[in-house]
Structure 1
Amino acid sequence: MNTTFIVLSVLGCGIASVAMLLLFMRLRKLPTRTSNKSQVSIIIPARNEEKNLAKLLPTLKAQSFDPLELIVVDDQSDDATAAIAEAHGCRVFRSGELPPGWKGKPWACQQGADAARGEQLLFLDADLELDPGTLARISAHAETFPDVVISVCPWHRTEKFYEQLSVFFNLLMVGGIGAFTLRGSRATGIGLFGQMMWIPKSIYHMVGGHASVRGAVLENLHLAGLLEKAEVPRHCFIGKGSLRMRMFPEGIGQLCASWSKGFSSGADRTPVFAMTLAAAWISGLMLTSITLLALPFAADSARLFILGSYLWVAVALAILFRKLGSFTFWNALLFPVSLFFYQGLFALSLIRKRGGNPVQWKGRHVA
């Protein structure tokens, strides 16, 4: 029996370690080179975002070069979203009624793009904040690679305990995009992060813009699929040192609703290789966690293997956590808590989806 415990713990550790290495092998930040030559229109879809805009817009004003224009699409807000945007010098476009067949965010983005004057379009979520020089760094990369679409996953800033539970959702969002495996940006099926996308206007119109993904919940992944078919490369980066966000300040209910929304349509848009690695990684982590239950029954030698395997995985996770957000060492050391929370919410989301129960987001049914 002790041999079985040792084999299971080492197997779980090995699977988790190899899969994690392959899935996140090429995590990369934005290059440091800067440029201020791009004529970019920044488009921010906003529905009841007065608090977030008050944080985002000053960070845009503090950039080393000014964009051509800042467009805030007020998506039928009932707070001071429009007033905050106007006070910061933005061009405010008040969204029309949501047409049949459209989701809210694609509709807002499409209206902003139609009104934009720039040769480049930068779509930003309202809950982001930019570090100084970020626009110049993105602009420089766009000049070096003029025919690519650029997307950055924000560094996840957390403040309260429940936000730590989001860690595996974040990790799988990053890994599932397929951009950071062994092949890097040469991989097929690479997605886009929904929070930030820089795209030449000519390419945007070529694939039909957001109108082509009007009914999609995760419009970023569906748009990436159209770009893949058009053979347009996608370059993805992690946002540490350039772009950050606090996703769920309103409580654990907001966290659950947001990730449930993503579960509804994300899996079928994940590249097969990345999906396989992600499944292997989660399986290895689960096995490593479950073997802890054998500690009371194992001999001393087996306990050393079980605890050693567990600590190896926890330390590797702690290093990865810090690359993607302000997730604590304790979160990594007690990773089964966040892992089983992820698994539980995933299962609940599948049950809700099969039962036809809609997911609500910002007062609208999204799935």
Structure 2
Amino acid sequence: MYLWLVGWLLAWFSGWLVFGRRGYVPKDTTADMPDRLSIIIPARNEAANLPQLFRSLQAQQIDIHEVLVIDDGSTDQTQAVAQRFGATVLATKTDQPGKAAACWQGAQAASGTLLLFLDADTAFLTTGGISQIVAAFQNKGNQGLMSVQPYHQVQKVYEQLSYVFNVVLMAGLNRFSVFGESVKAGGAFGPCLLCTRQAYQEVSGHQDMALGILDDIALAKRFMAAQRPIHLYGGRGLLAFRMYPKGFKQLIQGWTKDFATAAQVTNPGLMVGIILWLIGNSTIPCVGLLYSWPIAAVCYAVFYGQNVYFAKRVGTFRRDLLILFPGYFCFFLCLFAWSAIQTYIRKSVVWKDRKIHL
């Protein structure tokens, strides 16, 4: 019994090791804007999401040089919505579809010295959001690639299942452990990327990335190969998005398309810690079945408290539903296995009405 309890204690402790660093964008800085800022938004069927993003851009207390929307074969009113808000709209080439190609096309058309890539479903939570991000980048000497993971705004019950994915995604890129920046970054967050135009061009940016590749991880690898630093932050209070609002099927497809591949960039030592944490959370009810319910109640409460704290850092996940956290973790493990099957056996995934061969 004691060996099992030590194992669960180790799993709980591993959670603090792999996700013990908050890593938010510093607030006590002000951007000096000698550079022109170009915002590039790749979009495919994002007519419903773009208004929220554009309203948050219009409220920013910083000069935005230009906003470019790269329409990736949309069949809705994406182009019309973007033009209504004054953005310049470009259409991707028919022989070069996909987000990476759209980002590269937008970067070639941009005339700013700073490039900020934003997903269409993101929105800034404060009027100083962009200024805060730019200031943090300037404090790093405008060097390398800066990336912010948006805060996940959750509305429907099924969206609560994304909690574990958010934590593992951030922990898996190696910069949110207690070891901080002493561990090499594994990649970047695709929804928000900032770099200089010069650096982007020198590392070839998103050029010639195959459809279906994890463009955020591939871009970070190009920066790291050129000995340029990666700066990763959490977006709580600054930048947010709502993932997969169209239903449970979209959530399944969205997390399936990337997760097994993304796991390859996690530091091996941190990966062991993440696995221990996942197993501990998914099996903690077994304490009651194997030993005694009083001991089980204490262990359950300890794990629940940790999950409530982690959930606050990544999104608006409900405390009352988090009481069912072992189910969240079992769902994650099942979907991760399905992602591995799709990625390594079937070698294809479906996303936004496209079948993507890996």
**TM-score, normalised on structure 1?**
0.92
| Aligned equivalent of 1:106 | 100
Deviates further, 113-122 or 185-194: 185-194
Q: CA deviation at 1:357?
A: 6.0
Match of 1:322 in 2: 312
Give 1:160 shift: 0.5
The amino acid across from 1:109 in the alignment is: C
Query: In the alignment, what sits opposite 2:121?
Result: 127
Question: 2:184, 2:192 → 1: CA distance?
Answer: 20
Equivalence for 2:16: 21
Specify the alignment match of 1:309 in structure 2: 299
Q: Quote the Cα distance in structure 1 between the aligned partners of 2:199 and 2:182.
A: 19
Q: Superposed, which structure 2 residues align to 1:44-55 within 5 Å?
A: 44-55=41-52
Instruction: Tell me what 1:30 maps to.
Output: 25
Change (3 A) 1:94 1:242: same
**1:245 alignment partner, one of 227, 236, 241:** 241
- Residue identity matched to 1:245: F
SS at match of 1:71: strand
Paired AA for residue 82 in structure 2: A
Give yes or no for contact 2:143–2:228 (8 Å, CA) kept in 1.
yes
Distance in 1 separating the partners of 2:19 and 2:343: 30
| Structure 2 residue runs without a partner (length 5+) | none
Instruction: From the superposition, tell whether residues 181 and 354 of structure 1 become closer, same or farther in structure 2 (CA, over 3 Å).
Output: closer
The equivalent of 1:337 in structure 2 is 327
Query: What is the 5 A alignment of 1:185-204?
Result: 185-204=181-200
Distance 2:74 2:14 in 1: 43
- The runs of at least 4 aligned residues of structure 1 exceeding 6 Å deviation read none
Give the drift of 1:347: 1.8
Which letter does structure 2 place at the counterpart of 1:139? V
The equivalent of 1:80 in structure 2 is 77
Matches of 1:237 and 1:357, distance apart in 2: 31
Distance verdict in 2 for CA 1:121–1:161, change over 3 Å: same
Task: Tell me if the contact between 1:216 and 1:222 (Cα under 8 Å) persists in the aligned partners.
Answer: no
Q: Check if 1:365 corresponds to 2:355.
A: yes
One-letter identity of the residue aligned with 2:325: F
* Conserved 8 A contact 1:217-1:261: no
TM-score by length of 2: 0.94
For the 8 Å contact 2:282–2:327, the answer to whether it is kept is no
RMSD value, Cα: 1.7
8 Å CA contact retained: 2:185, 2:230:
no
1:60-97 CA deviation, whole Å, 9 max, x = no partner? 11000121100000111111111111111111111111
C-alpha contact (below 8 Å) 2:150/2:236 kept by paired residues: yes
Structure 1 unpaired stretches of 5+: none
Conserved? CA contact 2:173–2:188, under 8 Å: yes
CA contact (8 A) 1:27 1:180 kept: yes
Amino acid of the residue matched to residue 10 of structure 2?
I
Say if 1:318 and 1:108 are closer, same or farther in 2 by CA, change over 3 A. Answer: same
Letter of the structure 1 residue corresponding to residue 80 of structure 2: A
Measured against aligned partners, the alpha-carbon deviations of 1:196-255 in whole angstroms (never above 9, x if no partner) come to: 100111111121110153345311112212222222111111111100010011000000
Q: How far apart, CA to CA, are the structure 2 residues paired with 1:316 and 1:153?
A: 20
Identity of aligned residues (%): 33
AA at the equivalent of 1:79:
D
Name the count of aligned residue pairs. Answer: 353
Question: Contact conserved, 2:92 with 2:105, CA < 8 A, in 1?
Answer: yes
- Is 1:221–2:221 an aligned residue pair? no
Distance in structure 1 (CA, Å) of the matches to 2:286 and 2:339: 23
In structure 1, distance between residues paired with 2:232 and 2:137: 12
User: Given the alignment of the two structures, is residue 287 of structure 1 paired with residue 283 of structure 2, yes or no?
Assistant: yes
User: Does 1 or 2 have the higher relative contact order (CA < 8 Å, sep 6+)?
Assistant: 1
Q: In the aligned structure 1, how far is the partner of 2:339 from the partner of 2:145?
A: 31
2:283 is equivalent to residue 272 of structure 1 = no
Which residue type is aligned with residue 163 of structure 2?
Answer: V
Query: Could you tell me how far 1:358 is from its partner in structure 2?
Result: 2.7
Cα distance in 2 between the residues matched to 1:159 and 1:93: 32
Q: CA shift at 1:267, angstroms?
A: 1.6
More helix by share: 1
Partner SS for 2:346? coil
Q: 1:324-356 CA deviation, whole Å, 9 max, x = no partner?
A: 101111233210111111111122222334442
Note the alpha carbon deviations across 1:126-185, whole angstroms, 9 max, x for none: 000102211000111122111131111111001110000111111100110111123322
Partners of 1:357 and 1:117 in 2: CA distance: 38
Partner of 1:116: 110
> Is structure 2 residue 175 aligned with structure 1 residue 179?
yes
Tell which deviates more after alignment, 240-249 or 280-289.
280-289
| Per-residue Cα deviation, 1:103-146 (whole angstroms, up to 9, x for no partner) | 60101001000101111111000000102211000111122111
1:185–1:236: 8 Å Cα contact kept in structure 2? no
Are residue 8 (structure 1) and residue 4 (structure 2) matched? yes
Give the aligned partner of residue 141 of structure 1.
136
Counterparts of 1:243 and 1:313, CA distance in 2:
28
The 3-state SS of whatever aligns with 2:258 is: helix
Given candidates 57, 71, 79, the residue that maps to 2:68 is 71
